[in-house]
Amino acid sequence: MHVTVKAFAHLRDRFGIDETGVELDPQACVQDAWRAATGEDAMPKHVFAAVNLEYAQPGDRLHEGDEVAFFPPVTGG
Amino acid sequence: MAVELRASPFDPWRELAAAPGGEAPAGGFGATCAFVGTMRDFNEGAAVERMFLEHYPGMTERQLAAIVDETRSAHGLLDARVIHRVGSIEPGEAIVLVAVWSAHRREAFDGCRALMEALKHRAPFWKRESGAGGDRWVERNTPG
């Protein structure tokens, strides 16, 4: 299935991903999107994920057309 | 609007003066509490010349709206409002305004603090500071 991966802040700088499409197995989860987009095996603890604009966990299942985002701890305010 | 992102400088005090009761019913609120975060020219031992505030269009607004709703319910607020800058910011400019209204002071003080803390921990914003040493992504919040 096809999902869109976005990365923000220093993760975007580090992996050179602004927005990219990845192909995953139908049973894929957030962590699989990380692997496909970055080439790294495990999501580091300090990397957060969102699916379709809501916070998500590495083990959350993905669906066709999902937008997955990866980003560092937030620092607004 | 309960949540606004602004790409250019804003005056938080003019915003409050323009809507001193928010959307709270006139005569219904006894307490107003406001917090303003301002960009400093110094952080973690280094001078900062300017800052870029990145956000995630769509998710940032959604999370802020959820934070406002949750805080209003949890603290019995009559109204709550957030204005937050995005993009390039200069020292001395306001970064964020959080304002809440309630019948009495306890809910206002507690709700304003809770909203600000939730924003700091959940709202998708990332600060990149620029100074003599180049650009640097801020990695963590200062303790609340």
Residue B118's nearest CA partner among A11, A55, A43, A46 is A55
Closest CB to B120 among A55, A72, A76: A76
Each residue's pLDDT tens digit, B12-38? 999 999 998 889 988 899 999 999 999
Kindly list the strands in the beta sheet with A2-7, ordered across the sheet, starting from the edge strand earlier in the chain: A19-23, A2-7, A67-71, A48-51, A54-56
Q: How far apart are CA A59 and CA A47, in angstroms?
A: 14
The answer on pLDDT for A29 being more than 90 is: yes
Alpha carbon of A40: minimum distance to chain B alpha carbons (Å): 21
What is the pLDDT confidence band of residue B143, given thresholds at 50, 70 and 90?
confident
Query: What is the value of ipTM here, to two decimals?
Result: 0.95
Each residue's pLDDT tens digit, B81-139? 999 999 999 999 999 999 999 999 999 999 999 999 999 999 999 999 999 889 999 98
Q: Hey, are the CB atoms on A73 and B125 less than 8 Å from each other?
A: no
Mean pLDDT of B69-86: 97
